[in-house]
Amino acid sequence: MTAQSGQPQLPWWETGIIYQIYPLTFADGNGDGVGDLRGIIDRLDYLNDGNPNSVSSLGIDAIWLSPIYRSPMVDSTYDVSDYTDIWPTFGTLDEFDELLAAAHQRGIKVILDLVINHSSSEHPWFVESASSRDNPKADWYLWQDPVPGQAYPNNWLSYFGGPGWTYCPDREQFYYHTFHKNQPDLNWQNPDLRAAVYDVIRFWLDRGVDGFRLDASSAYSKDPQFRHNPMKYGATSQNNYKNYHHHYNKNLPANHQIIREIRALLDSYGERALIGETFIDNQMYDSISFYGAKGDELHLPLEFEFPLCAWFPGDLQRAIEKKERLTPTFAQPNYFLDNHDIPRHLSRWVECSLCIDPVTIARAAAALLLTVRGTPILYYGQELGMVDNDDIPQDRLRDQVIVISDTDDTPPSRDGSRTPMQWDASAQAGFSFGKQVEPWLPVHANYKDLNVEAELADPDSILSFYRRLIRLRRNSPALLQGSWRSLLHYPLEYLAYLREHEDETLLVVINFSYEQPFDCDDAIAPDGWEVLLSTDQPEGQTVALPKTLQPFEVSIYQHSGATQ
């Protein structure tokens, strides 16, 4: 119970802020040009130094590490060849234990990315499975015989382009891969495979990790009959994957049972978080179903409708209202703007906004992310205003699953949103702590002006704005636990919404346009609002609400009395 309210203590993933780290490009501690665990350890104080009044740390509550396991690196660690060891370039298990202890000392939870829809084709499980049809692991992957008159067993496609089936001469059969041919899908119907994966989960829980983000978690189960996916009526996308309804290779009912079993395993260890990527092209309803009908599946299902919205008030509010209506009462929404699979939000939105100033858009996006009802998830560097690096030479690209494809229906390379974290103006943006070594991916050319050191020293920077928002959120009952209610029925130029709690009411106003009259469809008190944070209003003063919004204004007000 909380000391002040007598209400039950909320789990940490409902009040905290999660920060995704892409280890390859976050910090290089040993100077070899590749990010590693030592680099993350050395940069923890920037994320949270354990001091709630810190003048230099961001103030996040948990880090989510993209995969750190052994991997042949075909898909930048999302092809795992050993689930219980660290890729040597990242470090060792001892260094991981050191990272875990150092994070916990600062109050930072550690979430691992768990890639168990598929493994690497170099994983010993697959090597054995592919060797014959009668070995102990023969049924640990999805094998099908050739079908006379058909090129492949069925019409299932790879998300990365081309067929989802690859022929194995040793077995004279095809194996299925949702993604690249080097990433064969696990057969979750096999009880021995299931038990082996659960042993992997126990291995990391026993070490003390605080939860997992499940990669491609809605695609574990496939149709046992391997039926063809129906084609969408009139579909003509150049990306052939988009021309089909994927009814038989994702979001199947049996998938929910797998997630329930994983959740039960985590629950047996106490307060551990289960987050799941529900496929990037999922509809929001399908994603939210993975909370479970009884709240016994994912704590936080990740869906992509919100981040892939246009930067337009109506679109964003519709996505928020949709999530508010669909999210069960027992569950917590979550929101993110960026991750390793999509372009950074400033690269997506700056060209479709009335405003062409990325700093202004970044402030507005930060205010939205950190004041809607739900758990916010940040992607490294977004708090600086990092944008995609679109000038990576062909010979420096690392997204092999995209680069080496010979089809014309694959997604673009994702490397642009994965470039090194920009720490300072030294060599390679301080990625290797000042050493002049070639990094895993080229640093963006803007690093001398856009970096942590410069922005910490600038009170008007994007980073400073994020830090103020995070501090405000941490101390606001309305932002941590309050309801969300829009004051506009059909927003066009700006958003205006309330976060309401028994102890306080907050009003958030975000103007997406030029100077506008400020009118709400639902009446609220015109006076008695304290300005908590604003780009244009006098902070710390109690004021009447303005009649006019300034161009691209962001303001957050607090009211302690009745607002209607």
- Rounded Cα distance between 118 and 137, Å, is 15
Give the residue from 209, 217, 205, 330 showing the smallest Cα distance to 268: 205
Q: Quick check: 482 and 506 in contact, CB under 8 A?
A: yes
Q: Which is the catalytic residue, given 36, 61, 277, 338? A: 277
- Rounded Cα distance between 306 and 316, Å, is 7
- Rounded Cα distance between 183 and 72, Å, is 11
Q: Give burial (CB, 10 Å; 0-12/13-18/19+) of 72.
A: middle
In sequence order, what are the residues at sequence separation of 6 or more whose Cβ sits closer than 8 angstroms to the Cβ of residue 34?
A: 24, 28, 89, 90, 439, 440
Q: Catalytic annotation on 504?
A: no
Q: What single-letter DSSP state applies at residue 8?
A: P
Give the residue from 302, 304, 300, 303 showing the smallest Cα distance to 273: 300
User: Hey, what are 160's tokens?
Assistant: 């990365």
Which one-letter amino acid corresponds to residue 529?
Answer: W
Per DSSP bridges, beta strands 494-501 and 504-511 are antiparallel
Q: Catalytic annotation on 530?
A: no
- Rounded Cα distance between 12 and 341, Å, is 26
- Round to the nearest angstrom and report the end-to-end CA distance of the chain: 31
- Rounded Cα distance between 309 and 508, Å, is 20
Question: 151-179: buried (b, 16+ CB within 10 Å) or exposed (e) per residue?
Answer: ebbbbbbbbbbbbbbbebeebebbbbbbb
Which one-letter amino acid corresponds to residue 397?
Answer: L
Give the residue from 474, 532, 477, 531 showing the smallest Cα distance to 58: 474
Which one-letter amino acid corresponds to residue 85?
Answer: D
In sequence order, what are the residues at sequence separation of 6 or more whose Cβ sits closer than 8 angstroms to the Cβ of residue 233?
A: none
Q: Which is the catalytic residue, given 61, 215, 297, 455? A: 215
Active site residues: 215, 277
